[in-house]
Chains A and B, each alone.
Chain A
Amino acid sequence: MDWEPGKKSVAEPSAWSQALLVELAVSPDGERLAAVLREEGSARVVVNGEPWETSFDKAWYLRFSPDGRLTALVNADMKWTVAVDGKPWEAAFGFAWNTLFSRAGDVMAACVQDNGRYLAAVDGKPWKQGFFDLSDLVLSAEGGRTAAVVQAKALAEGDVFAFDQGAFAVAVDGKPWDNTFVNCWTPVFSPDASSVAAQVRTSPREYTVAVDGKPWEQGFACVWEPRFSPADGSVTVPARTPKGWALVRDGRPLWDKTFAQVLSHEYSPDGSRVAAVVAPSFGKWTVAVDGRPWRARFDQAVFDLCFSPDSGRVAATVRHRGKWTLACDGTTWDESFDMVGPPVFSPDGSRLAARVRRGDTWTVFVDGKPAGDAYARAFDPVFNDDGVRVLVRGISARGLYFRQVVAL
């Protein structure tokens, strides 16, 4: 990857064709701009002006995988599939959507529907078994396994009593758990992909977590997304207890504090710390790390919670008094914006960047200061390995796509 500081114009999509440009995507290294162009009932994917060999009846959801391959959801002859660098998967379906990538990008998965049966397909290979419905598909980090919420039993229209008996399960690699539940949501793999945890409703009024199909003994008034600890494999979940919202580990309160709300939570990569988006009181939001809330409070939202790769820092996007900005370890950037993208840490965690929007322009900010030029549209910044350069990818108001490397 070229990290030489400077700015170059990579592509001008408006010059490629008179066809209608409906979607754009940029490669992780910034060297390629891809577009879906539509004309006369067909859709063509074009990369830096070069069209894929095959055109399709429809194409959308352009996504570069982390390893740089370009994917699109494509439709031809009334069938949908995933096309990778122009080549559609051999198998095609009644519908395909929600392309997912493994961490390295070497494995891809998507939700598919065929003849009214719902399943997942991994690198073009569908699960052996389909279901009445499927949602919340996840792919393990290394890409070896898939899990999703499935409707495992038929439900007659309006049969509220059968619903209460439980018709939903998590299917892992196509095999459903033996237990069914009133609802299942947001399955997640353990770091080694050997286990799956999910939110479940065990009765219409009781929520808990099930790990590999087995629900915790403890029930709660409500729960949100579970997470596995990378350190010890325990499972934590925000849960509503009689004392308030708490972070619960393996069924027992983890922190001594409760809150008006605990939303998402995340572990540091080394598993030594856990952070959560919390509301210490109604309408006041912050981040709690290992149970200790930041002193700063935000009156509207805290989102995009994440740890730095070295596990040392925690950041989130925050909305306060109508403006968005970034907060890291309890300190907010001096400037605030109409919108911010998700926080991006340098590999050593020493720098923090995000794209920010003011009016109609987007700029990349690093540690609260602008880096590079302003664009009509910008993509998430990328740091080099030692964090001293940042890649800015943006499209100018005139429609030119630029790749800009800024020395920090």
Chain B
Amino acid sequence: MEQTSTQTGDQGLEKSVARLTPDQIAKTLGEILKSEGGARLKAYVKTCMSCGLCADACHFYLSHENDPRFSPAGKVKQTIAPLLKKKGAVDPEFIKRAALVAFTQCNLCKRCVMYCPFGVDVAWLMLFVRRLCSRLGVVPQYIQDTAHSHSVTKNQMWVKEDEWIDTVFWQEEEAAEEVPGLTIPLEREGADIMYSVIAPEPKFRAQLIYQAAVMFHAAGVSWTMPATPGWDNSDMAMYTGENEIMGRLKRAHFEAAMRLRVKRIVMGECGHALRSVHDMGNRWLGWKTPPVPVTHAIEFYWELLESGKIRVAKKLKTPVTLHDPCNVARGLGLHEKARDVMAALCEDFVEMHPNREYNICCGAGGGVINCGPPHKAERLAASSAKAKQLFDARTRGARTIIAPCHNCHGGLEDIVEHHHLGMDLKFLGDVIYECMEKPWKKDEEEQGR
């Protein structure tokens, strides 16, 4: 069995662990275990029978030739189980190893939960380990920096307030060149929806804001975006275990929507943000359900197509496959609506196997890709199960992968490149923008005639 190194090259782990003392670990973890390690933690750890049924569900285990250390139960045995047994009295090297396992060897994808006869939620346990590590200051550097950005700017990419507004203006200007009369309405109080995105959109993928604006304009949607913090729905603090920052982010997001008096929030194509908005962040704050209803882009596209507000002018001819993001499929069951959208837009759809709630994670989720370059090689070493699934779809003709999630894009792009799969990636929004009827084009053509 190959030995896993704990030399990470990650200063967030190495330097932080070097500063720890056993006393400090025992004190901090003892406090957290006492205050936050309730019945759920004990029930999960005590219920696990080590039956191993979870193992085959895990792409880390499958990609590492069934090495039991990478099985979900194996990860529990290397982290929280001994930690509980020793009541937090573990050494710094143990903490580093536990951080490495919890932050970089588990995507928190919850696929294993579906195979556990007792419903033990290993993702929740790994998040708890991350929480413990975070309280000790042991967090991979890149994702910690992202969480710091959240704490300062309330977005994940250090986008300053003027940069956000300016980017929206820029996209509005670009889109208005294509579509006469188009606006991106910032701060329009009383609109039907607040559209929220994640910070990589203004930072790297501004065309997605452009495309959304074109779609909403064509569909006659009454919408707005906040000019204040709260426009970013993403949340890496949820994945570093900084629940207090997570709560702060979600409060800003929902209070922006309440201040703007919108009926609901529509969020862009992101998976983890949905988990934060719909499940974890809202609940940490005490909101059982989101205080303002939240609609994921998949559902919203489905509504626009189903109602005829967006009409399809031509279908995409390239054979496509669909990657079901964990948080929107296993998390919220949006996989059938995603297929309805695909059916409306694509001529040649090749189903990936397994699919829907059984789909295999892209390997980027759970903040793993956000742990950055020091862990990329290890992430790709755990990608063969996903690559096999993609390759199978490719052999049956698929050339384009549609993935309605930002982190999935990052993970799948790396896998496609690493395994030389020769496939490209699109968001659903890319396809809608490409295939939708654009009435202004017809007007232009008629005028040209």
Main SS class of interface, A: strand
A260 interface hit (Cβ, 8 Å): yes
**Distance of A283 Cα from B282 Cα, bound (Å):** 10
Q: List 25 A-B contacts (CB under 8 A).
A: A58-B169, A95-B165, A97-B165, A97-B227, A98-B161, A113-B160, A133-B153, A135-B161, A158-B142, A160-B139, A160-B141, A160-B144, A160-B148, A182-B151, A221-B244, A222-B248, A261-B286, A282-B283, A285-B286, A301-B254, A301-B258, A301-B287, A319-B291, A339-B261, A341-B261
**Distance of A94 Cα from B166 Cα, bound (Å):** 11
Residues of chain A contacted by B228 (CB below 8 angstroms): 98
Q: Which residues in window 356-379 of B have CB below 8 A to A?
A: none
B272-305 toward A: CB 8 Å interface, digit per residue (1/0)? Answer: 0000000000010111110111000000000000
Q: How far is the CB of B172 from chain A (nearest CB, A)?
A: 10
**Distance of A285 Cα from B293 Cα, bound (Å):** 17
Residue of B nearest to A133 (CB): B160
B49 interface hit (Cβ, 8 Å): no
Residue of B nearest to A151 (CB): B152
Residues of chain B contacted by A204 (CB below 8 angstroms): 137
B289 touches A201 (CB 8 A): no
A263 touches B161 (CB 8 A): no
B12 touches A207 (CB 8 A): no
Q: Which residues in window 84-126 of A have CB below 8 A to B?
A: 94-95, 97-98, 111, 113, 118
Partner of B135, one of A164, A182, A205, A303: A205
Say yes or no: A377-B190 contact (C-beta < 8 A), given A113-B162, A135-B153, A283-B286.
yes
A158 touches B261 (CB 8 A): no
Partner of A300, one of B227, B247, B291: B291
**Distance of A377 Cα from B261 Cα, bound (Å):** 12
Residues of chain A contacted by B169 (CB below 8 angstroms): 58
Residues of chain B contacted by A151 (CB below 8 angstroms): 152
B229 interface hit (Cβ, 8 Å): yes
Say yes or no: A61-B187 contact (C-beta < 8 A), given A95-B162, A242-B35, A283-B287.
yes
**Distance of A339 Cα from B191 Cα, bound (Å):** 11
Residue of A nearest to B289 (CB): A300
Q: How far is the CB of B171 from chain A (nearest CB, A)?
A: 14
A299 interface hit (Cβ, 8 Å): yes
A20 touches B181 (CB 8 A): yes
Residues of chain A contacted by B8 (CB below 8 angstroms): none
Partner of A339, one of B139, B166, B263, B286: B263
Q: How far is the CB of A139 from chain B (nearest CB, A)?
A: 16
Q: How far is the CB of B375 from chain A (nearest CB, A)?
A: 14
Interface size on B, residues (CB 8 A): 50
Q: Which residues in window 226-271 of B have CB below 8 A to A?
A: 227-229, 244, 247-248, 251, 254-255, 258, 261-263
Residues of chain A contacted by B251 (CB below 8 angstroms): 263
Partner of B161, one of A111, A240, A282, A362: A111
Q: Which residues in window 128-148 of B have CB below 8 A to A?
A: 135, 137, 139, 141-142, 144-145, 148
B13-30 toward A: CB 8 Å interface, digit per residue (1/0)? Answer: 001000000000000000
B431 interface hit (Cβ, 8 Å): no
**Distance of A97 Cα from B261 Cα, bound (Å):** 21
Pick from A61, A97, A377 the residue with the most CB of B within 10 Å: A97
Residues of chain A contacted by B135 (CB below 8 angstroms): 205
Residues of chain A contacted by B186 (CB below 8 angstroms): 60
Q: How far is the CB of B139 from chain A (nearest CB, A)?
A: 8
Residues of chain B contacted by A365 (CB below 8 angstroms): none
A407 interface hit (Cβ, 8 Å): no
B263 touches A338 (CB 8 A): yes
**Distance of A60 Cα from B166 Cα, bound (Å):** 12
Q: How far is the CB of A252 from chain B (nearest CB, A)?
A: 21
B151 touches A279 (CB 8 A): no
Residue of B nearest to A259 (CB): B286
Say yes or no: A160-B227 contact (C-beta < 8 A), given A301-B287, A339-B261.
no
Residues of chain A contacted by B187 (CB below 8 angstroms): 61
A260 touches B183 (CB 8 A): no
Q: Which residues in window 304-363 of A have CB below 8 A to B?
A: 304, 317, 319, 322, 338-341, 357, 362
Known: A160-B139, A282-B286. 11 other contacts (CB 8 A): A94-B162, A133-B152, A135-B161, A160-B145, A201-B151, A222-B247, A260-B286, A300-B291, A301-B287, A303-B255, A322-B293
**Distance of A103 Cα from B34 Cα, bound (Å):** 48
Residues of chain A contacted by B15 (CB below 8 angstroms): 161
Binding site for B on A (CB under 8 A): 20, 22-23, 58, 60-61, 94-95, 97-98, 111, 113, 118, 133, 135, 151, 157-161, 163-164, 168, 182-183, 185, 201, 204-205, 207, 221-222, 240, 242, 260-261, 263, 279, 282-283, 285, 299-301, 303-304, 317, 319, 322, 338-341, 357, 362, 377
Residues of chain B contacted by A98 (CB below 8 angstroms): 161, 227-228
**Distance of A204 Cα from B151 Cα, bound (Å):** 10
**Distance of A163 Cα from B152 Cα, bound (Å):** 11
**Distance of A357 Cα from B262 Cα, bound (Å):** 10
Residues of chain A contacted by B286 (CB below 8 angstroms): 260-261, 279, 282-283, 285
A283 touches B288 (CB 8 A): yes
**Distance of A182 Cα from B151 Cα, bound (Å):** 9
**Distance of A207 Cα from B153 Cα, bound (Å):** 17
**Distance of A334 Cα from B430 Cα, bound (Å):** 46
**Distance of A155 Cα from B302 Cα, bound (Å):** 44
B152 touches A207 (CB 8 A): no
A135 touches B229 (CB 8 A): yes
A20 touches B183 (CB 8 A): yes
**Distance of A260 Cα from B251 Cα, bound (Å):** 15
Q: How far is the CB of B19 from chain A (nearest CB, A)?
A: 10
Q: How far is the CB of B388 from chain A (nearest CB, A)?
A: 34
B166 touches A95 (CB 8 A): yes
Which A-B residue pairs are the 4 nearest by beta carbons? A283-B288, A301-B291, A261-B286, A95-B162
B190 touches A362 (CB 8 A): yes
Residues of chain A contacted by B141 (CB below 8 angstroms): 158, 160
A261 touches B285 (CB 8 A): yes
Residues of chain B contacted by A285 (CB below 8 angstroms): 286
Q: How far is the CB of B268 from chain A (nearest CB, A)?
A: 23
Q: How far is the CB of B289 from chain A (nearest CB, A)?
A: 6
**Distance of A117 Cα from B101 Cα, bound (Å):** 41
Q: How far is the CB of A176 from chain B (nearest CB, A)?
A: 15
**Distance of A331 Cα from B262 Cα, bound (Å):** 24
Residues of chain B contacted by A319 (CB below 8 angstroms): 291
Residues of chain B contacted by A182 (CB below 8 angstroms): 151
Residues of chain B contacted by A221 (CB below 8 angstroms): 244
Residues of chain B contacted by A183 (CB below 8 angstroms): 151-152
**Distance of A285 Cα from B287 Cα, bound (Å):** 9
